Structure 1
Amino acid sequence: MKKRIKTAGALTLAAITVLSAAGLSSVYGALGVETDQKCTLTFTVDTEEFTELLDLAIPVYVYKVADITEEAAYDTTGYADFGNLGLENVSSTTTAEEWAQMAEDAMKIVENKKIAPTADVKVAKPEGATESTGVINNLKTGMYLVQAKTVQTSEYTYDFTPYLVSLPNNYYSKENPDDTWVYDVTTGMKPQQTQRYGDLEIVKDLTEYNASLKDALFVFQVEGTRHGEQVYSDVVSIKFDEAGKKSVLVEDLPAGTVVTVKEVYAGGSYSNTSGETQEAVIVAEGVTDHPASVSFTNTYNGKLIPGTGIVNHFEKKNGEWDWEQQTDKPASAN
């Protein structure tokens, strides 16, 4: 019987926070922007939930897309590529969705025109620190597009949504009535986590075959555990009509899964000579040229007991169990 304990496609998403320049309208009555003052932009990354990011260096690129005037208006005169973003019209009423759209449009322009970054930094955890940070100094005032590159660990992919940030910034609100311009700006990066997957190859070597017994069926129970939780349970089979090697591929298992494969049926005429149970750890696709693999060897033992059969495949759909008979999961000859 085949039973999936958990769908091997769970996706974990971190909340994406789009950091914008909201509140940079002169309607707040803030003092004029000192446009000739240099600014500092400090990046922090949320590693409280995703602690493995502390082991990575995240490349971050910033692109200047507009100047800022003393009156806190944005001017794209010197940045014609970004002239249609609508930055001249932003105000305290500009929504987060509108900021996100402008950032997305700006990113497309950067990619299509292959615009070089104004500056870059790697966000990483300094030795002895408890969080990952990165600092870019001596930036001119203006509006900047921030792009953090995708990074990967052995089990996950982390993506970051591009966003716009203003230098200087203004954090005026009802809760914070201080409308002072801030030239040393700190901005947070929220990762979006995606599970990586890999395959498992089960190899069977049948060293001797009795043709009079016809098909020889071998059945394997596959159990997968990840971080103490069972995430996979399945039964697969390989069928032979001659001696040789064949394999079957169990696809799309979460990377990092520890799989235990047990040969649960070999018929009465073929003996296992390699051990009935083996383990492997699933490696994410692209990390190596070959998937995780286990190998079993059987040989004819002189008995005349037919060993073919049927494997029933059970799958739950829309809350109800459905099943179909499978004489063999597709296998490849080696």
Structure 2
Amino acid sequence: MKKLKIKKGYIAGLLTLFLAAAGLHVASAYATNVIDPAEPCTLTLSVPKGEEYTEELNGMELHAKIYQVATVDAAGEYSETSEFKSLSLKDAVNGDVTWEEMTAKAAELASDKTPDTECTITDGTGEKELNSGIYLVVVETASTGFYEYNFNPGLIALPDNQAFHSAGAENKWIYEVTANLKPERSPRYGSLLIQKNLDNYNETMKEVTFVFSIEAVDENGNTVYSNVVSTTHSSAGTKAAIADHIPAGAKVTVTEVYSGAGYRLVSEPQQTAEISADEIVTVEFDNTYDHGLNPGYGVTNHFDYDEDEGWQWTQLPDNSVKEE
């Protein structure tokens, strides 16, 4: 095994880089008093308090995989474990690679390995007893009906020493360490399918277009989606238009704002639904020919959402779902 002794001159940079890479509290690997490798360490993983997501995450069960990437002896010398012998921690200490890159490499190596242990986080906290060393902590992605939470992998050194966190602090190894999780939250999305049923059709009037407005609000009544879609018919039967990328949990109101000249609505003119993540919810409208003689045909402004470029506009005959 390769051994690495982290000298005092490296400590400030090491600590800062660990924090930047992991978003978690980490230990240094040097103190004037020796480490007791036989004394177990306790790692507590905790959801930060006072954040927008704190209450929601506290109500969830989170799962962390923990991999030991290095051991440490009483003299403060680290040795990569056999599963992570290619990690070469000294490259980060020497500045040849960043700690962000080192963390990413450790996570890549761990992707096909069995964790040494796991930690379940409930009510905002989880605790695990571990030996001294450096550990990779990987918290699994977690989802609610509205949001997805992703956690960056982090390297954490045990034990800790407060002397390297603040000036004047006691130079003493701490074997009970708390690390705050730092999640990234992103909204989840769903789709809306508007199904238009036309029970009869006047072929002499050519195509007929039906137009629908879509308004969606969140739990606070704020508009989160607004669009207009349409279907164009050249025969009796059913056509459907789909609207994508609507935030999950949004309350949607769909109104048929134009029923096509010569046709009348026989169902309710307004339908409501709630969007579910990664699902398609459906509303239906029924129309019939009322023997009017004015044709009604139009084009539709179509919008597609792209994560890199945002909403993209094109003009189509309608928003009908293509038939297979």
Q: TM-score range by the shorter chain?
A: 0.7 to 0.9
Name the counterpart of 1:33: 35
Name the counterpart of 2:271: 278
Q: Displacement, 1:38?
A: 1.1
1:16–1:190 Cα contact (<8 Å) kept: no
Q: How does 1:46-65 map to 2 (within 5 A)?
A: 46=48, 48-50=51-53, 51-65=55-69
- Say if 1:44 and 1:314 are closer, same or farther in 2 by CA, change over 3 A: closer
Structure 1 outlier segments of 4+, above 4 Å:
88-91, 312-315, 322-325
Q: Displacement, 1:62?
A: 0.7
1:185 matched to 2:183? The reply is no
Distance in 2 separating the partners of 1:301 and 1:94: 78
Name the counterpart of 1:98: 98
Q: How does 1:1-334 map to 2 (within 5 A)?
A: 18-19=23-24, 21=26, 23-26=28-31, 29=32, 31-46=33-48, 48-50=51-53, 51-76=55-80, 79-88=81-90, 98-111=98-111, 114-125=112-123, 132-137=124-129, 139-173=130-164, 174-227=166-219, 228-285=221-278, 288=279, 291-311=280-300, 325-333=315-323
TM-score by length of 1: 0.80
SS of match in other structure, 1:34: coil
1:259–1:282 Cα contact (<8 Å) kept: yes
Distance in 1 separating the partners of 2:131 and 2:299: 71
Q: Displacement, 1:124?
A: 1.1
Distance in 2 separating the partners of 1:248 and 1:176: 67
Distance in 1 separating the partners of 2:102 and 2:142: 24
Name the counterpart of 1:129: none
SS of match in other structure, 1:172: helix
2:148–2:185 Cα contact (<8 Å) kept: yes
TM-score by length of 2: 0.83
Q: Displacement, 1:73?
A: 2.1
Structure 2 stretches of 5 or more lacking a match? 1-19, 305-311
- Say if 1:184 and 1:101 are closer, same or farther in 2 by CA, change over 3 A: same
1:75–1:88 Cα contact (<8 Å) kept: no
- Say if 1:268 and 1:312 are closer, same or farther in 2 by CA, change over 3 A: same
1:198–1:282 Cα contact (<8 Å) kept: yes
Structure with larger RCO (C-alpha < 8 A, sep 6+): 1
Structure 1 stretches of 5 or more lacking a match? 1-14, 126-131, 316-321
The number of equivalent residue pairs is 294
- Indicate the percent of aligned positions where both proteins have the same amino acid: 34
1:142-178 deviation line (CA, Å, top 9, x unaligned): 1111110001111111111111111211222343522
1:178-197 deviation line (CA, Å, top 9, x unaligned): 22101111111010111111
Q: Displacement, 1:293?
A: 1.3
Distance in 1 separating the partners of 2:65 and 2:301: 53
SS of match in other structure, 1:331: coil
Q: Which region of structure 1 is more displaced relative to structure 2, 324-333 or 261-270?
A: 324-333
- Say if 1:121 and 1:81 are closer, same or farther in 2 by CA, change over 3 A: closer
1:74–1:88 Cα contact (<8 Å) kept: no
Distance in 1 separating the partners of 2:87 and 2:25: 14
- Say if 1:157 and 1:324 are closer, same or farther in 2 by CA, change over 3 A: closer
Distance in 2 separating the partners of 1:94 and 1:22: 19
Q: Displacement, 1:263?
A: 0.4
1:196–1:284 Cα contact (<8 Å) kept: yes
